[in-house]
Amino acid sequence: MGKYFQGKYQPRNPQKYVGDVDNIVYRSSWELKAMNWLDSNTSILKWGSEELIIMYVSPKDGRPHRYFPDFVMQYKTSKGEIKHAILEVKPSVQCQMPKQPKRQTKRYLNEVVTYAVNQAKWEAARQWASKKGWDFVVLDEYALNIAKRPRAKA
């Protein structure tokens, strides 16, 4: 997910932040980019980082776990409607079932487990959001304008 780094984010618009404004932690450069966008975008009315807990059952162990989505936001649409969304920042490779290699490797098995756990978290988040009338969106490197989407082969 790019160069890994973390730190504390200092918002330029602290009145928009929902939660402890002195303890906003980013865990990657991608999350930092998303925070800058949430903080500076005038259509975003409120936002929070890891402020929501959603329960899900992990396919890894069959037990309930807590999922803290990366962000929640309240925003105004171009039509003036107020909406809410849950945002998750993930590389596109973790949003797709890994391609099975000729022989099963430990890396491939770990990627399959990561994919399955992410899918379980996101399905729980979609259901939670749907009940509230919210959206659930995964932001990958293309949505964050970190990379250009590869062109489809002709």
Q: Supply the CATH number for residue 111's domain.
A: 3.40.1350.10
Whether 97 is covered by a domain: the verdict is yes
Residue 90 annotated to the active site: yes
Whether 151 is covered by a domain: the verdict is no
pLDDT in tens, 71-122: 999 999 999 999 999 999 999 989 998 888 888 899 999 999 999 999 999 9
The amino acid present at 139, given as its one-letter code, is: L
Whether 149 is covered by a domain: the verdict is no
Token reading at 45 = 């009315």
Phi, psi of 138 (to 5 degrees): -100, 125
What residues make up the domain containing 36? 7-139
pLDDT value of position 36? 97
Percent of the chain clearing pLDDT 70 (strictly above): 97
Residue 70 annotated to the active site: yes
Considering the candidates 16, 33, 70, 140, report the single residue annotated as catalytic: 70
Whether 144 is covered by a domain: the verdict is no
Whether 1 is covered by a domain: the verdict is no
pTM of the full predicted structure?
0.89
Considering the candidates 50, 90, 111, 135, report the single residue annotated as catalytic: 90
What is the DSSP secondary structure assignment for residue 92, as one 8-state letter?
A: G
Whether 154 is covered by a domain: the verdict is no
